[in-house]
A and B are shown apart, each in its own frame.
Chain A
Amino acid sequence: MNIGRRSFLKTTAAGAAAAALAPRRSRAQAKAIRVGYTLSATGPYSVGAGITQAPNYSLWQEQVNAKGGLAVKGEGRRPIEFLSIDDRSEIETAVRYYEKLMGEDKVDLILPPWGTAMNFAVAPVANKHGYPMIGPTVSSNKLKELSFPYFYAILQQPDACMGAFAGFLKDLKTQGKVGKLGIAYVSDLFGIEMHASLAPQLKDTGLEIVDTKSYALGVKDLSPILKGYKAAGVDAFLGLTYPPDNILATSQAKESDWNPPVFMTAVGTAFPFYRDRFKGAEGVSGVAGWNPKMKYPGAREYYDAHVKKHQKEPDRWASAFAYASLQILEQCVGEVGLDRKRIKEMLDTTQFSTVAGPIKFTKGVNTTTPGMVGQWQKGEFEIVWPKSLATATVVVPKPAWA
């Protein structure tokens, strides 16, 4: 190799490298919008975060950046840049990182972490720094005791969810299809609150509550409870559960050869994983909030885009609300820019139109979306209650286990 060729190659290589590293003048001249958050990638919260929030955050970013970025009033489109870490399901880690995002890095916007406990911990920090935060995975009666003007809960709260359960069961009772209830709830905040919300609402339904049993998180055997209910002739089982106990309850009901006319497991039922695990889970019902058949603008498109990008379906409850919260943010930024105070004002006063339907916040809580009951029918989690939003009629009694 002679010197001439070597230096030619060197110059070409250097030139190519420079061209690759040099800022592309044609696009991306706009400064990126920095959006910060933590999500649990490890630890017990990672399951929920990975199903409900993470896929929606990345989908939204991809879609928005494909259009050239987020439209900011008066500035044109600016691409979204995420700053995030894994909070390890540790509250302290999340709190500290949000302090960093808002106090140190001074990001433009923030997105919430997963779960009620985490959101409770991060909300005061967001509030102190004046960053609006819309939480799609917060559902707790304790929210009423908190006063954080910059925090918004978009998911249905326990009273609404359990109101739907009670209404659903009451209708069935009137039709003579159920009479004896057996309840089981997880002794964790959410389970306890769901039970506390449900009990009073069941009072005037005329249903007989055979028994109510609680079980600990991490339980390995629910068959004592299920067998007891089977022996007592319970015809409607209500599991106020979380994954994976809802899966355990279902598989053990099957193993105990018990197929009551109504089988409900509250949370986790709306996950496509649950449907696939039980070969369709035909007839099982639970807490619902959305499915792609609903006549909301962009609902079907959202479903298709999620499946295309992640090779998995969005869950039929909180996923759509996570995406909706991002749509809401997008709309606010488009109309009032990145002034967080003005975004907050808009959040307080506007009715938004999203893939999860119309959403309006009253005192920081979404009061537009009612509680709903869903039931797996032929591969889709149909809304079966309330009738006004139903996408199918309920099937009672539930078909045999597959």
Chain B
Amino acid sequence: MNRTLGRVVALLLLGALLIAAPHLLSSYYRSLVLALLADVALAVAWAFFSGPTRYLSLATGAFFGLGAYLTAMVGARLAWPLPVVAGAGAAAAMALVVGLLALRLRGPYFAVFTFGLAELAKHALIWYEMRVTGTVGRLLLAPPGPIALYYSVLALAALCVTTAVLLRRSSWGFALTVIGADEERAQTLGIDSTRVKVGTFALSAAFMGAVGAAMAPRWTYVDPQVFNPLVSFQTVIMALIGGTATVLGPVVGALFLGLASEILLLRFRYLYMLALGLALIAVVLVFPGGLSSFAVRLRGRDTSRPLA
């Protein structure tokens, strides 16, 4: 009982800090926290699908980019935060379509297929823009203020983490785990694996699209290069580095990678990529179960779950 109380208090404190942050911090630190929150949302969203089902999705870049570009296209006409909702919806729709095809594929086939989505979306968009609108890239001339953007991303991160926790404890979440362990068995147990998989994939994509939509106003000009395959990799890295066995894992991973990149970037002008690369390799070799598994081991809990 005390433990739960302690956790609730800690969470409330954290929440209060995060809510107060934009008024206490300078614009740089506020931006940094915003970027970290965005990373957390992406990593957690990725992990609540790919963790239990073991389908390594590399589609994050496509969904994120879709949300971002959509905001750039309609942002002027929709009041904030409607573009974020639109981004979520568009990404979810894309995920439903793609998922129905892609989720019939196994492991590596699924991974590579989803990886190509970002490139496909980019080229399809360029083709469309050139033929229909004659221009490429959009300017966001009247973006919402930095505080509004911050709270949007904070809300998304909080909502995403909550969703992940609730999902994990629900029967849907259990179904995901069973699918990940043995998909054929799941079918025989009466689980409609297609519905569960595609549904969760779409929910995960919705968050990614929403984050993209919320971040885009910061860049003023958004062009199709925003569909970046590297975003897909980075999200997976964050989640795996932290460990996908718990909801906290991707959070830890996102914070670690985000802060490490920033610190190294500021300190080492020419060697930070080298340092970051070596740090990543070191972490994987020393903590193959992810950083959070190390923390959990310290607390003496059993981590030998059938998950990742």
Contact = CB atoms under 8 A, between A and B. Distances in A.
The judgment on whether A and B are partners is yes
Contact of B218 (A95, A97, A100, A193): A95
A92 B136 contact: no
A35 to B, nearest CB: 15
A145 interface: yes
A276 interface: no
Interface residues of A, number: 33
B265 A95 contact: no
A214 B126 CA distance: 11
Interface string A186-218: 011100110010000000000000000010100
B137 A189 contact: yes
Contact of B223 (A93, A99, A189, A214): A189
Interface in A31-55: 41-42
Judged by DSSP, the binding face of B is: helix
A99 B221 CA distance: 17
Contacts of B203: none
Interface string B22-48: 000011110110010000000000000
Given A99-B28, A187-B130, A93 B221 contact: no
B130 A93 contact: no
A124 B32 CA distance: 18
Given A187-B126, A192-B130, A216-B126, A123 B220 contact: yes
Nearest to B141: A145
A131 to B, nearest CB: 13
A255 interface: no
B269 A96 contact: no
Contacts of A104: 26-29
A145 B266 CA distance: 34
Contacts of A189: 135-137, 223
A117 B35 contact: no
Interface residues of B, number: 29
Judged by DSSP, the binding face of A is: helix
Contact of A96 (B31, B126, B223): B31
Contact of B219 (A95, A103, A192): A95
B216 to A, nearest CB: 10
B35 A92 contact: yes
A86 B275 CA distance: 14
A103 B272 CA distance: 24
B28 A96 contact: yes
Interface of B: 26-29, 31-32, 35, 123, 126, 130, 134-137, 139, 141, 215, 218-221, 223, 225, 265-266, 269-270, 272-273
23 contacts: A41-B269, A41-B270, A85-B266, A86-B265, A86-B270, A92-B35, A92-B218, A93-B265, A95-B218, A95-B219, A99-B27, A100-B28, A117-B219, A117-B223, A120-B139, A121-B218, A121-B220, A124-B220, A142-B221, A145-B139, A188-B223, A192-B134, A192-B135
